[in-house]
Copies of this chain bind each other. A is one copy, B any other.
Amino acid sequence: MATIYEVSKLAGVSLATVSRVINNNAPVRQATRVKVLDAMDKLGYHPNSIAQSLASSRSNSIGIVVSELNGPFFGTLLSDIEAAFRRAGKHVIIAAGHSDERLEKESIAFLKSRNCDALILHVEAVSDDYLRQLNEGGTPFVILNRFVESMSDRCVTLNNQHGGYLATQHLLRNGHRKIGYISGPMWKNDAEQRYLGHLRALAEYGIESKSSLFYEGDFHELGGVKGVAALLHADADITAIVCANDEMAAGAVTTAREQGLRLPEDLSIVGFDNVNFSHYMYPKLTTIDYPIGGMGVMAARWVLKHIYQQKLDNIQTVFEPRVIERDSVHSI
């Protein structure tokens, strides 16, 4: 591998000049620039990014923490973030936090030790206090899908409450009055917000919430399976269920059918997230769109703007969900 030194010798200029043409950050006479470029070409020179990083104390890498690497939700997120940074010549280092406090902290420590210039965090288990403390720690970061008071400009969130509201409102508008709710783990902020939205929609229609219509699931298929069983057992008159995410909706659909219900005639279901498989389901799932890709890109833009000084327009921090109507809701 050729080094900058060899290039400078071949071009008959100093190291500094070569560095200037590489980084294009200081005036260089055209003739000189050409000589250098030729020399680089002749030697097949590529700058050593490690050395650049050490000298400039900038690694051009961004650390991403997500709960899981697989799963349709995070796939879309990572895909769009990677594309955004790649275009800017930056690269991403990815770590999985598995919604576990220890693992999330470990991931963050790992990425910091890797000299990331910034982090994008989708973390669920660590506390707000931890994040505030991390904020003192030198490595800047932006938070996805979570709102922390003192750093609101760096939180990119979905209006989860409105999403929960929309899901239930959609059912209400279709004539349903006895609506079950399968929630995510209530210690997760988005699960709580979605449920709050559900309650608000109910209240608007003057409907009382009953605990027999609520089931706290796990955001996984199994939660949907158990949730349907529990809800139907507690109250056989339910005509619709909102599931706080699509995976639980999938479990709910399967179980409801196994219990002999026709979908959507006997039971309407609405999901949340609009994950890629939701339209492979049968009936195709009516759900709430979560523009996760766009939110990831926005997080990336924050980093590009504030860390790498790219001039970009203002950053949108709150995204709005919307209903995706498909076939799993029956009008009564």
A interface list, Cβ under 8 A from B: 1, 46-51, 53-54, 59, 61, 68-72, 74-76, 78-79, 82-83, 86, 91-96, 110, 112-115, 138, 221, 250, 253-254, 257, 276-277, 280-282
Contacts and interface: CB of A to CB of B under 8 A. Distances in A.
Contacts of A50: 50, 53-54, 59, 115
18 contacts: A49-B114, A61-B93, A68-B75, A68-B79, A70-B276, A72-B72, A72-B277, A79-B96, A82-B94, A82-B95, A83-B96, A91-B93, A91-B114, A276-B277, A277-B277, A277-B280, A280-B281, A281-B281
Given A50-B53, A114-B49, A281-B280, A94 B92 contact: yes
Nearest to A58: B50
A159 to B, nearest CB: 23
A260 B280 CA distance: 17
Contacts of A113: 46-47, 49
A115 B75 contact: no
A287 to B, nearest CB: 13
Contact of A74 (B75, B112, B114, B280): B75
A118 to B, nearest CB: 15
Count of this chain's copies in the oligomeric assembly: 2
Given A70-B72, A70-B75, A254-B282, 18 more contacts: A46-B112, A48-B54, A49-B113, A54-B54, A61-B93, A69-B78, A70-B276, A71-B75, A72-B72, A78-B94, A86-B95, A91-B95, A93-B93, A221-B280, A253-B282, A277-B280, A280-B280, A282-B282
Contact of A110 (B51, B86, B253, B282): B86
Contacts of A92: 93-94
Contacts of A276: 70-71, 277
A276 B71 CA distance: 8
A11 B282 CA distance: 67
Contact of A75 (B46, B69, B112, B138): B69
A79 B282 CA distance: 28
A150 to B, nearest CB: 24
Contacts of A112: 46
Contacts of A46: 112-113
Contacts of A82: 69, 94-96
